[in-house]
Amino acid sequence: MFIGADVTHSSPQDMKPSIAAVVGSMDPKASIYHCLVKVQERQSAKSEERILKMEEMVKKLLDKFYES
């Protein structure tokens, strides 16, 4: 399974929530993918590349991989 993740933020002056996305391949040829997207509250004005519920999201992807 290939896994990719990223977080996108609004401007530093704007404390809107960040959006985190994690994607995982669902087949041995890595040609089918499943994506999870979560809104997460910003911890500070500083943009951090940290996904707050990464463990939970990866577990969901692993469960989905197992099902397929």
Query: What does the pLDDT look like over 11-38, one tens digit per residue?
Result: 777 778 889 999 999 998 999 999 999 9
39-61 burial string, b = 16+ CB within 10 Å, else e?
eeebeeeeeeeebeeeeebbeeb
Task: For residue 43, name the pLDDT band (cuts at 50, 70, 90).
Answer: low
pTM here is 0.80
21 touches 45 (CB < 8 A)? no
Task: Give the number of residues written for the chain.
Answer: 68
pLDDT, tens digit, for every residue of 46-64?
A: 656 788 889 999 999 999 9
Q: Across the chain, what does the average pLDDT equal?
A: 88
